[in-house]
Copies of this chain bind each other. A is one copy, B any other.
C-alpha cells in the first residue's frame, strides 16, 4: 500500500495530496507532527521534513521536489498506471517554468509567508511542551510578504490560463496548496487580487481539492468561506 506521511495543514504535503489525486493514485494518509522529531520518522526522512511518500518495495521518497518528479517519471512507467494529468506538461522550456514556480511557492513563499503564518496560528499551539505565544513582528512581516506574493500570483493568473502557462501543472497545485492553508486561517485578501481569486476558484472546484477542503483542526474552525466554491 502506498502511504503519504503528511500534516494536514502542511502546504508541501497538500501539494502532493493534490498531485496524487490528480494522477488517480490512491495513498493512505498518515499524519506526522514533524516538530516533535520522532525517531521513527527521522529514520524515514533524516531531514525531518514533510511530505514523505512510502511506496511498496522502494526507499521512501522525501520532499516535494523528489516526490513530484518521481510521480511525473513514473507516469511513463508502471507505478502510476492511469495517468490523467501531467505535473510538468509541455516542452523542456515549459517544464522549466513549472519548476521555477514550484520552487518559488515551496521555498520562497513558504519561508516568507506560509510557514511563519502557520507557526504563529497553528503549529505554535500544538507543541507538546506547551503552546508558544506567536511572535507578532514575524506575523506582521509574513502578512506583508504574503501581499507581494499574491500580487505576483495575480499577475501570472492575469497573463496566462494557468500559472505556468497554457496547462494546469504542479506549479498550480503548489500555489493552491499554500494559499489553501492560509485561507483556512482567513488571511488571504482575495478582493485585492481578482485574477488570483478567479484562478483559485477554478482549481478549488477540482475533485482533487475535496479532501483538503474537508480538513479541520479541533479548536481552530476554518474561515467561513474556506470550503465554499463560490466565495
| Cβ-neighbour of A66 out of B47, B74, B100 (below 8 A) | B100
| Cβ-neighbour of A63 out of B66, B95, B103, B111 (below 8 A) | B103
Most B CB atoms within 10 A — which of A47, A58, A96, A100? A96
Q: Which of A165-207 contact B (CB under 8 A)?
A: none
| Cβ-neighbour of A69 out of B61, B95, B152 (below 8 A) | B95
Q: Which of A77-110 contact B (CB under 8 A)?
A: 77, 92-93, 95-97, 99-100, 102-104, 107-108
> With A and B bound together, what is the CA distance between A70 and B100 in angstroms?
11
Q: Say whether A63 contacts B100, CB under 8 Å.
A: yes
Can you list 16 A-B pairs with a CB-CB distance of less than 8 A? Answer: A46-B152, A47-B100, A47-B104, A59-B96, A61-B96, A62-B100, A63-B100, A65-B99, A66-B96, A66-B99, A67-B96, A69-B95, A70-B93, A70-B95, A70-B96, A77-B92
